[in-house]
Amino acid sequence: MDQIIECVPNFSEGRNPAIIKQITDEIETVAFVRLLNVDPGKATNRTVVTFVGTPAAVVEAAFLAIKKAGELIDMRSHKGEHPRMGATDVCPLIPIAGISMEETAEWARKLAEKVGRELQLPVYCYEAAQPDKSRSNLSVIRAGEYEGFFKKIKLTEWKPDFGPAEFDARRGATVIGARDFLVAYNVNLNTTSTRRANSVAFDVREAGRVKTDKATGKPVTDAQGKPVQVPGTLKFVKAIGWYIEEYGIAQISMNLTNIRETPVHKAFDAVCESAAQRGLRVTGSELVGLIPLQAMLDAGRYFLAKQQRSTGVSEKELIRIAILSMGLDELAPFVPEERIIEYLLKKEGDARLVGMTLRDFADETASESPAPGGGSIAAYAGALGASLATMVANLSSHKKGWDARWKEFSDWAGKGQDYKDQLLRLVDADTHAFNGIMAAFGLPKGNPEEKATRHAAIQAATRTAIEVPFRVMETAYGCMDLIKAMAIHGNPNSVSDAGVGALCVRAAVLGAYMNVRINAAGYDDKAYVADILAQGSAIQEMTIEAETQIREIVNEKIGV
3-class state of residue 293 by DSSP: helix
Partners of 41 in beta bridges: 46
* Domain at 183-345: CATH code: 3.30.70.670
The CATH architecture that domain 4-178 belongs to is 2-Layer Sandwich (3.30)
Q: What strands lie across the sheet with 282-288, from one edge to the other?
A: 237-244, 249-256, 183-189, 282-288
**Residues 266 and 303: beta-carbon distance below 8 Å:** no
Give 267's contacts (C-beta < 8 A, 6+ positions apart).
Answer: 185, 187, 204, 234, 237, 254, 256
Percent of the chain exceeding pLDDT 90 equals 85
> E strand or H helix at 230, and its extent?
strand 229-230
Which of these is catalytic: 39, 89, 430, 497?
430
Q: Report the share of the chain in percent with pLDDT over 70.
A: 99
Please check whether residue 68 is in contact with residue 26, taking contact to mean a CB–CB distance below 8 angstroms.
Answer: yes
Average pLDDT, integer, range 310-330:
97
Domain 358-558 grouped into CATH 1.20.120.680: yes
Rounded average pLDDT over 214-230: 84
Confirm if 93 and 137 have CB atoms less than 8 A apart: no
Q: For the stretch 177-197, what's the b/e string if a residue is b when 16 or more beta carbons lie within 10 angstroms of its beta carbon? A: bbbbbbbbbbbbbebeebebb
Closest CA relative to residue 237, chosen from 253, 213, 221, 215: 253
Instruction: Report the Cα 456 to chain-centroid distance in Å.
Output: 36
pLDDT surpasses 80 at 547: yes
pLDDT digits (tens, 9 = 90+) for 247-260: 999 999 999 998 98
Residue 126: pLDDT above 80?
yes
Distance CA 535, CA 526 (A): 14
How crowded is the C-beta side of 308, counted as CA atoms within 13 Å? Answer: 9
pLDDT in tens, 165-175: 999 999 999 99
Mean pLDDT over residues 208-224, rounded?
A: 85
Flag whether pLDDT at 349 surpasses 70. Answer: no
Four-residue CA torsion sign, 83, 85, 87, 93: negative
Would residue 432 show up in a list of annotated catalytic residues for this protein? no
CA 343-302-480 angle, 5° bins = 75
- Per the document, the length of the chain is 560
Looking at every residue in the chain, the average pLDDT score rounds to 94
Task: List b or e across 138-165, with b for residues whose CB sees 16 or more CB atoms inside 10 angstroms.
Answer: beebbeeebeebeebbeeeebebbbbee
Q: Which residue has better confidence, 134 or 384?
A: 384
Q: What region, left, alpha or beta, does residue 186 occupy, with left being phi > 0 and alpha being psi -120 to 50 degrees?
A: beta
In this structure, what DSSP letter does residue 346 have?
A: P
DSSP 86: B
Contact 473, 509 (CB under 8 A): yes
Is 82 an active-site residue?
A: yes
pLDDT band at 176 (very low <50, low <70, confident <90, very high): very high
Quick one: which H or E segment has residue 467?
helix 448-489
What is the C-alpha to C-alpha distance for residues 63 and 27, in angstroms, rounded to an integer? 9
pLDDT single digits (tens) 81-107 = 888 999 999 999 999 888 999 999 999
**Can you give the pLDDT at residue 428?**
94
CA distance 208 to 58: 36
Name the more confident of 499 and 134: 499
Q: Which of 542, 411, 421, 422 is nearest to 489 (CA)?
A: 411
The pTM of the whole model exceeds 0.95: no
Which residues does residue 39 pair with via DSSP β-bridges, in sequence order? Answer: 48
Contact criterion met (CB below 8 Å) for 188 and 286: yes
- Position 1 pLDDT exceeds 50: no
Cα gap 322→220, rounded to integer Å: 41
- 189 pLDDT exceeds 70? yes
Local confidence band at 413 (pLDDT 50, 70, 90 cut-offs): very high
Question: Can you give the pLDDT at residue 227?
Answer: 85
Main-chain phi, psi angles of 196, to 5 degrees: -70, -35
Residues 420, 423, 429, CA angle at the centre, nearest 5°? 150
Residue 219: per-residue pLDDT = 84
Q: Give per-residue pLDDT as tens, 475-517.
A: 999 999 999 999 999 999 999 999 999 999 999 999 999 999 9
Could you tell me where the beta strands, DSSP code E, fall in 77-144?
88-97, 123-127
Residue 337 and residue 323 in contact, taking contact as beta carbons nearer than 8 Å: no
What's the gap between Cα 244 and its chain centre? Answer: 28
List Cα–Cα distances, 75 to 70, 139, 145, 174, in angstroms. Answer: 9, 19, 11, 12
d(CA 443, CA 455): 9
Count of CB atoms situated within 10 Å of the CB of 559:
5
Alpha-carbon gap, residue 511 to 173, rounded angstroms: 63
Choosing from 39, 82, 89, 203, the catalytic residue is 82
CB atoms within 10 A of CB 455: 14
Element containing residue 464 per DSSP (H, E): helix 448-489
Q: Where are the domains of the chain?
A: 4-178, 183-345, 358-558
Q: What DSSP character marks residue 285? A: E
C-alpha 501/C-alpha 547 separation (Å) is 9
Give the rounded distance of the alpha carbon of 216 from its chain centre.
Answer: 48
DSSP 81: S
